Amino acid sequence: MHTSPDPDPPQTTVERVLVLFALLDEAMPVVERLRFPEVPSPEHRLPQRHWAGRVGTVEVTVVANGRDRRCGSDRVGTDAATLAAWTSIRSFAPDLVLNAGTCGGFEARGASVGTIYLSHGNLLFHDRRIPLDHFALQAAGRWPSAHAPNLAAAIGARPGVVSTGNSLDFLPGELEFFAREQVCAKDMEACSIAQVCALAGVPFVAVKAVTDLVDHPEPVQDAFLRNLRTVTALLGERLDAGLRWLGAHPRRLSEL
């Protein structure tokens, strides 16, 4: 079984793009900018929500994890992201998957609220601890991101290492991991989606906008809530620009 996408044939053209979000608050700014209608979910037993439309030459499907019917809150974390990625790839057969959303950033690596990163290199898991032989790579993740400097320029994003965990906050010991790996964006879904994309052979990139600073004394939840609306509006604007660049004329994957 392949564990990373096959080498990109130069003639492969991006015709279908899947954009995955965790939070409805993250998804709605770009949905509203693109004026996409909501469409029925192909997985009626799941709470995922879908919008679809055309941006120039590309068909775009936007998916949000939806609300947890039991808890009444948005479904977040690696389990919801993995499920949404697998079912959406199976249903829509995209040529490219984007995972967009918010993240924690790091002052030490030049971030401020509103900084936007596009994933670079391998995506990581920072809170998987499996001290057994032969499990180190599975714990760390290290699933690949597509090289997409032109898309990053169109979005106005910096390249950066993205690391994923299942908590909004962090443990003190994880700071050493973030520093050692030069992590720029800490989120709750990207590496799990990258894994699904790699197994499915679909190119993947994450686009993450900073709402809070991990290495700042303010509690991350306070900064996240205060900055969420402003940052997601900015993310919607930048994603709109990136999708319009993709759809301006037929783009090969090798042009990303």
Cite the active site residues: 26, 212
Contact 127, 171 (CB under 8 A): yes
Residue listed under structure tokens 């919008």 = 51
Nearest to 19 by CA among 73, 127, 105, 92: 92
115: helix, strand or coil: coil
Give how far Cα 214 sits from Cα of 77, 79, 121, 228, 231, Å.
18, 23, 21, 15, 16
12: helix, strand or coil: coil
The residues pairing with 143 across neighbouring beta strands, listed in sequence order, are 123
Amino acid at site 168: L
